[in-house]
Structure 1
């Protein structure tokens, strides 16, 4: 595992990063005291990259994703997505940015049970005030192998099929950045491979950026780079690692 100090890289990227975290801290306060979930994380996610974020329980990986996606506000520091600084946006503008520039895939599929597969996929466009094109909806359904399920409802699908609908829903707006939080946590190994292949295709075919939080070394091996967190700091990274190498790196963090 390569050690990585929590500072911005000295090598300037050849193009602006899709996502930049600059000095991100996050402190949660309660009657029991303060907890520092992130303690000054600086990192750039290159355009068209697939990065898995891993770390022991409590390392800050889910907090990092929440702050990066504008779902939570960092205590200090700056998040820049596609040239837009998130801290300068009000809630309306932030919601618009999330709908247009970000895609979300979580362990919970969050599909609307009363809507068909087609309408679940079309929903993000409707929420932005755009009229969904039948061709666009069927294109992304075909991309995830579910064009023949367009008229079904979520309850009629397997868990893996529902997750593929969730990915199609995220793809429909052609977001610049995908955020995935344990997207295969509830799926069997065969279905997990299909889901992870779809995420990798988003970077290879469409140049989209994927940031995925996972605890699974097999899932992380689909990413180009695994970014390791420990105690709210970047502890290192591993490029093109095998599941065994990733598991070994995780073990060293948990000692």
Structure 2
């Protein structure tokens, strides 16, 4: 069973201190993301969605509980080992593309490997661009690409290292509907055809409908899950949470 698990969250609590007192961003969250699954995470503002993503990716440490990615417990790793694990086992896609305008699409995809001092294989970079449908645009720079194409370069960069899990935070938030649909179809195919694990935070029921399942958070706790639901069912569940 362990071999089929990409990410495990076991009793995750995350508490912050503020002037007003303690803020409980996550309250005992337990969940398993299996390999090859595409999971959307939704919830009202302040529900803990982004905190969950950050803790799962090792970008933030839980106050209590344990996180494991690819079978490796994150709590046992120091910052250097954690950074190395993120570079090799995790991919990240955000609303902002975080591309360097002076570099070509090829060089943007290759950049993380170069920064890590790893050899860059031309066939692997071109393969990543081909996987996202940009094999003919390797020499283009971000200003020469549409928003949707830039986001696909960012996805290619995230997939270049063949990570155990791809974390996406509002990946279609800055895109028009057509470009957003193409990116979501790509993320779904990454899970269905490549066996990658995708965990995506979104506020959009239509975006969530592309996932295999939608996990709902409220007040730092998992309060529901819908499998293979359409946008209407997802929106209805969200409406109940926001009442």
Instruction: Indicate the TM-score class for this superposition, using the shorter chain for normalisation.
Output: over 0.9
Mark the runs of 5 or more structure 2 residues left unpaired by the alignment.
none
Distance 1:58 1:162 in 2: 29
> Counterpart in 1 of 2:117?
129
Q: Deviations over 1:59-97 (max 9, x none)?
A: 001100000000111111100111111011011100000
Deviates more, 1:171-180 or 1:136-145: 136-145
Contact kept? 2:114, 2:120, Cα under 8 Å: yes
* 1:45 correspondence with 2:40: no
> Counterpart in 1 of 2:67?
79
> Counterpart in 1 of 2:196?
208
> Counterpart in 2 of 1:60?
48
Distance 1:150 1:227 in 2: 36
> Counterpart in 2 of 1:253?
241
Distance 1:128 1:203 in 2: 26
3-state SS of the aligned residue for 1:25?
strand
TM-score using structure 1 length: 0.93
Aligned residue pairs total 243
Q: Report 1:1-255 matches (<5 A).
A: 13=1, 15-255=3-243
Contact kept? 1:69, 1:179, Cα under 8 Å: yes
Q: CA deviation at 1:103?
A: 0.5
Q: Considering only aligned residues, what root-mean-square deviation do their CA atoms show, in Å?
A: 1.1
Q: CA deviation at 1:34?
A: 1.2
Distance 1:202 1:37 in 2: 30
Distance 2:85 2:123 in 1: 24
Distance 1:251 1:157 in 2: 37
TM-score using structure 2 length: 0.97
